[in-house]
Amino acid sequence: MNERSFILVEILEAVISVKGKNNKKYKIILEAAITIFAKNGFYQSTVSEIAKEAGVADGTIYLYFKNKDDILVQFFNYKTRQVFSAFKAEVEKTDDTVAKLENLVRKHLEEFQRDRNMAFVYQAVTHQKNPLVADKINEISKMYLDIVADIIEKGQQEGSIRKDIYLGLVKRFILGAVDTVINTWLYSGAKYDLTSMTDPLMDLFIRGIGNSEGGKSLE
């Protein structure tokens, strides 16, 4: 991850600290909001419904959040800090380039499977390009792409990944493939183990779809 990405993570952590990341009620309200957003959709949800789900009075919500919009923004701040810390930790567990990518993909799928409501809200909001968090979505995407780029570039230096590939395309290919797998799982009703898609994704990323045994070359 480059210097700018580390700075962004530090900023996110600072924001959460100010909002009370260790405050139990803050977390309860945030999780309740995610549940309601996943059930009803962000625009159809109300503060009263969130308060009821959290087991607090409506007015209590405003002690921690300005309004419903602020809850959505804080959701992205809070979950981004958690998820990206987990991604970074998994990637750093090994020095092997392919294993780094596999760890990232598997952890991505694990985190979204572990919290289906979070996954549903995150996917819906990012695909709808909600203007409330448009800048945050762009930051999150860049942070993820930076992690992938670091892995790919390391592999190119070591010789385990081809040097004649277009890095910008590869980064988006990987993010897009994982994103599509998560969406398919969500809209299937989460009827199967999402992490079981790690191996098929890695096979596609590393081996591609061409048949090296007699297939026609693109060159």
| Residue pLDDT tens, the chain, 219 long | 555 555 445 444 444 444 454 588 999 999 999 999 999 999 999 999 999 999 999 999 999 999 999 999 998 888 777 888 899 899 999 999 999 999 999 999 999 999 999 999 999 888 887 888 888 888 888 889 999 999 999 999 998 899 999 999 999 999 999 999 999 999 999 999 999 999 999 999 998 877 765 544 444
- pTM reported for the whole predicted model: 0.82
**Domain extents in the chain:** 3-207
Contact 143, 5 (CB under 8 A): yes
Cβ atoms within 10 Å, residue 219? 4
> Given CA atoms 16, 18, 19, 21 in this order, what sign does their dihedral have?
positive
From CA 194, how far away is CA 13, in angstroms rounded? 28
Instruction: Give one DSSP letter per residue of 114-178, joined into a string.
Output: H-HHHHHHHHHHHHHT-GGGHHHHHHHHHHHHHHHHHHHHHHHHHTSS-SSS-HHHHHHHHHHHH
From CA 75, how far away is CA 83, in angstroms rounded? 12
Contact 8, 143 (CB under 8 A): yes
| Residue of 1, 107, 69 whose CA lies nearest to 9 | 1
Q: Span 3-207: which CATH code? A: 1.10.357.10
From CA 59, how far away is CA 52, in angstroms rounded? 11
For residue 213, give the amino acid letter. Answer: E
From CA 132, how far away is CA 62, in angstroms rounded? 18
